[in-house]
C-alpha cells in the first residue's frame, strides 16, 4: 500500500511554496486568509510553526505533552523569507518522518493522545494544504493539490468522514472550508489519529480505512505479518470496516485492531468490534491469529487489553463474543480472558445454531 511519509511531506510543501511564490511580492499582511480571522502573512508563519512543532514532537519522542518551543522570524523577514522557512521546516519534518521507526508514537491530543510517523506526516500535510488554500483564496490564486494525496489524508486521519467523489472538495468541506451537495456545513472539526491499546507483549493498533482497503484487497495493510499474512477473518473484518467508512458510519475506536508483537514488530493477528455499543451498552468482539502465532497466549492477552479498554468507556456495560460450538480453543481463550458463558439472549446477537455466547461485564 502507498505509505504516508517524508516523500509526501516534501511533495505538499514544494507544491505550496511554488504556488505562493508567484505572489510573494504582494502585501500579505493586508489580505485576509480565506475564511480565517488571520492575514495571509500570519497564516504562512503558522504553517512553518506547525511543521517544526510536529518534527519536534516526533524527534523528541514527547509522550506527555507538547514540547514547549516555537520559531520566531526576524523582524525584517519578507514573504520570500517566510517561504524559505516553510521549505526548511518542511524538510525537517520530512527527514524526521523518514528516520523514525514505525512503532514510535509521540503526543498529540486529537483524539487519543498520540500519533505515529504517518500521523504526524498526515497532520503536517493537512496543515500545509489547508492553509495554502486559505492564503491562495485571500490572494486570488487557484490551489488544487493532487487528488491521491487528499485521499491519503482522508483515509488516515479523517476516518469518520464519508468519502466523496472529489477528495479535495471533501477535505475542504470536512474542515469547514467549503460545501458539498447533500451535506450540512461543518462548523467544528478535528482529525482522528488511530487508537493504539497497549498490552504486555503486544500493541493493538487501530486499522485506518487506508490500511483496511489494502487488507481487504489481499495486501498487508502496511504491517509486517508473521507467518506470511493475516488470517481470512482479519481481511473480512477489514472489508466490513471499509463498508462502514464508505457509508459514513465508521467509528474508529470501535473498529479493527492489528495485534503487533513488541519484540519484533510483526503482526500476529486481528481483533476488533462488530460495531459501536448498542443502546444497552453491549459491544461484540471478535479475533483471530495467524497460525504461526497460535498457542502462545497472544489472543488472550489482546482480548484482555481491548475488553478492559472498552469496559472503561461509560457507554459500555458488557463485552460479548460468540464462537462455534466445536471451537474449543476459542472458548478457552474467552474463559482465560475472564468471559463467562452467557444465556442466549443476554449476549449481543444471542446464540445461533451451532454457536455459543460469552460475555464480560464491567
pLDDT of residue 351: 60
pLDDT of residue 345: 47
Q: Give me 349's grid cell.
A: 446477537
Give mean pLDDT, residues 121-145. 98
Between 55-69, 108-122, 248-262, 346-360, the lowest mean confidence (pLDDT) is in 346-360
Collapse the DSSP code of 281 into the 3-class scheme (helix H, G, I; strand E, B; otherwise coil) and give the result: coil
Portion of the chain with pLDDT greater than 90, in percent: 94
**194 and 208 in contact (C-beta within 8 Å)?**
yes
pLDDT of residue 343: 73
Q: Give me 59's grid cell.
A: 524527534
pLDDT tens column, 33-47: 999 999 999 999 999
Burial (CB count within 10 angstroms: exposed 0-12, middle 13-18, buried 19+), residue 1: middle
Asked if the 6-174 domain carries CATH number 1.20.120.450, the reply is: yes
Give mean pLDDT, residues 72-90. 97
pLDDT of residue 228: 83
pLDDT of residue 323: 95
**291 and 225 in contact (C-beta within 8 Å)?**
no
Mean pLDDT is highest, among 19-23, 70-74, 225-229, for: 19-23
pLDDT of residue 344: 56
pLDDT of residue 1: 83
Burial (CB count within 10 angstroms: exposed 0-12, middle 13-18, buried 19+), residue 256: buried
pLDDT of residue 352: 63
Band the pLDDT of 255: cuts 50, 70, 90. Answer: very high
pLDDT of residue 330: 95
Give mean pLDDT, residues 297-304. 98
- The rounded distance, in Å, linking the Cα atoms of 296 and 292 is 10
pLDDT tens column, 333-362: 999 999 999 875 445 555 666 899 999 998
pLDDT of residue 204: 98
Q: Which CATH superfamily is domain 196-361 in?
A: Gcn5-related N-acetyltransferase (GNAT) (3.40.630.30)
- The rounded distance, in Å, linking the Cα atoms of 121 and 114 is 13
Cα dist from 297 to 294, 327, 333, whole Å = 7, 16, 8
Collapse the DSSP code of 76 into the 3-class scheme (helix H, G, I; strand E, B; otherwise coil) and give the result: coil
Instruction: Note the helical H segments in the chain.
Output: 6-21, 40-60, 79-99, 117-139, 147-157, 167-174, 209-216, 232-247, 298-311, 328-336
Residues 6 or more apart whose CB falls under 8 angstroms from that of 332 comprise: none
Q: Where are the domains of the chain?
A: 6-174, 196-361
- Map 110-128 to HEC letters: CCCCCECHHHHHHHHHHHH
Query: Is the peptide bond preceding residue 111 cis, with omega within 30 degrees of 0?
Result: yes
Half-sphere exposure for 108 (CA within 13 Å, toward CB): 31
Q: What is the mean pLDDT of the chain?
A: 95
Residues 6 or more apart whose CB falls under 8 angstroms from that of 99 comprise: none
- The rounded distance, in Å, linking the Cα atoms of 209 and 215 is 10
pLDDT of residue 245: 98
pLDDT at 319 over 60: yes
Give mean pLDDT, residues 319-327. 95
The CA-CA-CA angle for residues 61, 62, 67, to 5°, reads 125
- The rounded distance, in Å, linking the Cα atoms of 269 and 256 is 11
pLDDT of residue 346: 46
Amino acid at each position: 500500500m502507498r505509505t504516508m511519509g517524508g516523500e509526501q511531506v516534501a511533495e505538499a510543501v514544494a507544491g505550496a511554496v511554488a504556488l505562493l511564490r508567484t505572489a510573494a511580492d504582494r502585501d500579505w499582511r493586508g489580505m485576509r486568509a480565506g475564511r480565517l480571522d488571520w492575514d495571509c502573512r500570519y497564516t504562512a508563519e503558522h504553517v512553518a510553526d506547525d511543521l517544526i512543532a510536529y518534527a519536534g514532537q516526533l524527534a523528541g519522542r514527547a509522550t506527555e505533552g507538547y514540547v514547549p518551543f516555537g520559531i520566531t522570524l526576524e523582524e525584517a523577514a519578507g514573504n520570500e523569507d517566510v517561504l524559505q522557512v516553510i521549505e526548511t521546516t518542511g524538510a525537517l519534518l520530512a527527514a524526521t518522518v523518514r528516520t523514525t521507526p514505525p512503532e514510535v508514537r509521540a503526543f498529540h491530543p486529537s483524539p487519543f493522545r498520540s500519533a505515529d510517523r504517518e500521523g504526524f506526516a498526515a497532520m503536517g500535510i493537512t496543515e500545509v494544504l489547508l492553509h495554502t488554500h486559505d492564503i491562495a483564496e485571500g490572494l486570488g490564486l487557484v490551489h488544487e493539490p493532487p487528488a491521491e494525496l487528499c485521499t491519503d489524508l482522508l483515509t488516515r486521519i479523517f476516518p469518520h468522514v464519508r468519502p466523496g467523489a472529489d477528495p479535495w472538495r471533501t477535505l475542504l468541506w470536512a474542515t469547514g472550508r467549503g460545501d458539498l451537495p447533500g451535506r450540512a456545513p461543518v462548523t467544528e472539526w478535528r482529525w482522528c489519529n488511530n487508537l493504539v491499546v497497549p498490552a504486555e507483549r503486544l500493541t493493538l493498533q487501530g486499522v485506518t480505512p487506508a490500511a483496511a482497503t489494502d487488507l481487504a484487497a489481499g495486501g498487508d495493510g502496511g504491517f509486517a505479518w508473521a507467518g506470511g499474512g493475516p488470517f481470512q477473518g482479519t481481511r473480512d473484518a477489514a472489508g466490513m470496516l471499509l463498508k462502514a467508512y464508505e457509508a459514513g458510519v465508521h467509528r474508529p475506536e470501535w473498529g479493527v485492531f492489528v495485534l503487533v508483537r513488541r519484540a519484533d514488530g510483526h503482526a500476529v493477528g486481528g481483533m476488533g468490534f462488530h460495531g459501536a455499543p448498542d443502546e444497552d451498552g453491549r459491544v461484540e468482539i471478535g479475533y483471530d491469529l495467524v497460525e504461526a502465532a497460535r498457542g502462545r497466549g497472544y489472543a488472550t492477552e489482546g482480548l484482555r487489553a481491548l475488553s478492559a479498554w472498552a469496559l472503561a468507556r461509560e457507554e459500555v456495560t458488557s463485552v460479548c463474543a460468540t464462537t462455534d460450538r466445536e471451537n474449543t480453543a476459542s472458548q478457552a481463550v474467552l474463559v482465560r480472558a475472564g468471559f463467562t458463558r452467557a444465556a442466549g439472549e443476554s449476549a449481543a446477537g444471542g446464540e445461533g445454531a451451532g454457536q455459543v455466547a460469552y460475555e464480560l461485564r464491567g
